[in-house]
Structure 1
Amino acid sequence: MISGVLLDIAGVLYDGNVPVPGATEAVERLRQSELSLRFVSNTTRSSKASVVAQLGRLGFPVAASELFTPAQAALSWLEDHKRTPHLLVHPDLEPDFAGVEQRKGKAVIVGDAGETFDYRRLNRAFRALMEGAEFLALAPNRTFKDADEKLSLDAGPFVAALEFGSQRKATVLGKPSKAFFDAALTSMNCPGAEAVMVGDDAEADIAGALKAGLGHALLVRTGKYRQGDEKRFKPRPTAVVEDIGAAVDWIARKRS
């Protein structure tokens, strides 16, 4: 039984600033079905509001309540644990943390800081960790598909560098964290076994979802996908499909 669908966005719904062919129609087909739908992204370069606005411009009207991001998870963590953020993130993401209450305890939060990653900022984060700050990774992704169509380093390698230097293990808040998937599933009252994840990242999206207890995970051959990705991580995808349109076809067949 399938009652809910989780969709990654970058690489699945759009590449760069262009929708994947057939993606708007595919999402509309899901909207018209009886399936619950949530959008789960590991993007850490943009605020949640700007992601919602971008999706709307590209033909994917999405309510803020339907979109789950690592920064959103971080804000909940900071409130629950009464910590102040020490941010090592992209400047465009910083507005999501504006107004967070200042507290004595700190938490280093690492995302994809892009061109603003430099020794000074990394070392400041390292020193905060050595002074006892908590260590949070918004996402551990190794790479992402950049505007020039090539792969670029994502936040994961920089998280790994800080882990190596500080001998501390980061708590991951975005995919593949089970808590991240569970939050999205809970919001639509969907048991994990009845959910399908659709993504272009065989590690964070697909293996992560299956380890988190989702019933199915479909890997699309768009976005960051590269030949052979489906064999690089375990658990392996339930199915490998050409794109989001083919994923919706697969879901429809499975339900019939």
Structure 2
Amino acid sequence: MIRAVLLDLLGVVYDGDTLIPGAAAAIERLRDAGLPLRFVSNTTRSPRGKIIAQVAAMGIEVTDEELLTPARAAVEWLRNHDRRPHLFVHPDLEGEFSGLEGGSGNALVVGDAGEGFNHASLNQAFRALAAGADFVALAVNRTFKDADGQLSLDTGAFVAALEFASGRSPIVVGKPSPDFFLSALAGLNCPADDAVMVGDDAESDVAGALRAGLGEALLVRTGKYRPGDETRFDPAPTALVDDLAAAAEWILNRAAA
């Protein structure tokens, strides 16, 4: 039986500043059924407050405790390991890491730096690793759907470059890290195998959730989805559905069983 639902945001609930048709009603149906929701976004450009305000402007209320982002997971990791961040992230995200300046060691934190990805900044990050900083990646997504509707390089390509140059493997704190999915379920009194994930990324959202032990993971044909994605990664999606509205119908049919 399904007892909790994890939802990606970008590509599942909205595209850019546009709500995906049927998404708001689907979320309302899931809430009305008494299913606890967690929104697990892999965005590494926008701060939490901006994400919550963005979806609120679309008519969807998301509370602070319902939203999990890689930045929040990274802050927890930095505190637990007494590290101060050497940030290689988008300027909009830097405020999420305030108050962490007093750690006993350094950690390079890599996110989507946008136009900040260039040789000079990558080399500075490489030198931080060479000097012994821990290597923390907010996410390792290969691509994202850009404002023009086409796919663009995401953070994973630049993380891979630093990994190749340094010979160091990163600690990934966002999707597809199992800890990220399990952290989203913490406090819901729901075993992982009673939870379902809905996402548009067959690798990070779907295969990542299933490897973390979630019982079901649905891939939607919205957002960054491209035909054939459902066969490209292992484990494969539990089901391929048109959109969040279809995913909600699928979930509710099984939650009531």
Bin for the TM-score computed over the shorter chain: over 0.9
Give the Cα separation in 2 of the matches to 1:50 and 1:186: 24
Counterpart code for 1:120: A
Give the Cα separation in 2 of the matches to 1:49 and 1:110: 20
What does 1:94-113 correspond to in 2, within 5 Å?
94-113=94-113
Post-superposition Cα deviations, 1:127-146, rounded to whole Å, max 9, x if no partner, equal 01011100000000000001
Give the structure 2 partner of residue 217 of structure 1.
Answer: 217
**SS class of match (1:189):** coil
Give the structure 1 partner of residue 170 of structure 2.
Answer: 170
Say whether the 8 Å CA contact 2:86–2:106 is kept in structure 1: yes
Give the Cα separation in 2 of the matches to 1:75 and 1:236: 31
State the 1:116 CA deviation.
Answer: 1.2
Counterpart code for 1:203: E
Say whether the 8 Å CA contact 2:85–2:101 is kept in structure 1: no
Give the Cα separation in 2 of the matches to 1:122 and 1:101: 22
State the 1:162 CA deviation.
Answer: 0.1
Give the structure 1 partner of residue 124 of structure 2.
Answer: 124
State the 1:102 CA deviation.
Answer: 2.3
Question: What 5-or-longer segments of structure 2 have no aligned partner?
Answer: none
Give the structure 1 partner of residue 196 of structure 2.
Answer: 196
Counterpart code for 1:194: D
Give the Cα separation in 2 of the matches to 1:196 and 1:223: 19
Give the structure 1 partner of residue 63 of structure 2.
Answer: 63
Post-superposition Cα deviations, 1:212-256, rounded to whole Å, max 9, x if no partner, equal 000000000000000000000000000000000000000111123
Give the Cα separation in 1 of the matches to 2:194 and 2:56: 28
Post-superposition Cα deviations, 1:182-234, rounded to whole Å, max 9, x if no partner, equal 11111322110000000000000000000000000000000000000000000
Counterpart code for 1:61: E
Runs (4+) of structure 1 exceeding 6 A deviation are: none
The reply on whether 1:28 has 2:28 as its aligned counterpart is yes
Give the structure 2 partner of residue 230 of structure 1.
Answer: 230
**SS class of match (1:187):** coil
Post-superposition Cα deviations, 1:122-173, rounded to whole Å, max 9, x if no partner, equal 1111001011100000000000001110111110000000000000000100
Give the Cα separation in 2 of the matches to 1:190 and 1:235: 22
Counterpart code for 1:59: G
The reply on whether 1:137 has 2:149 as its aligned counterpart is no
Give the Cα separation in 2 of the matches to 1:104 and 1:234: 39
Give the Cα separation in 1 of the matches to 2:135 and 2:237: 30
Give the structure 1 partner of residue 181 of structure 2.
Answer: 181
Counterpart code for 2:199: G
Say whether the 8 Å CA contact 2:30–2:252 is kept in structure 1: no
Give the structure 2 partner of residue 6 of structure 1.
Answer: 6
Question: What 5-or-longer segments of structure 1 have no aligned partner?
Answer: none
Counterpart code for 1:178: P
State the 1:104 CA deviation.
Answer: 3.5
Aligned residue pairs, count: 256
* Segment of structure 1 superposing worse, 41-50 or 180-189: 180-189
Give the Cα separation in 1 of the matches to 2:181 and 2:108: 22
State the 1:95 CA deviation.
Answer: 1.0
Q: TM-score with structure 1 length normalisation?
A: 0.98
Give the Cα separation in 2 of the matches to 1:187 and 1:52: 21
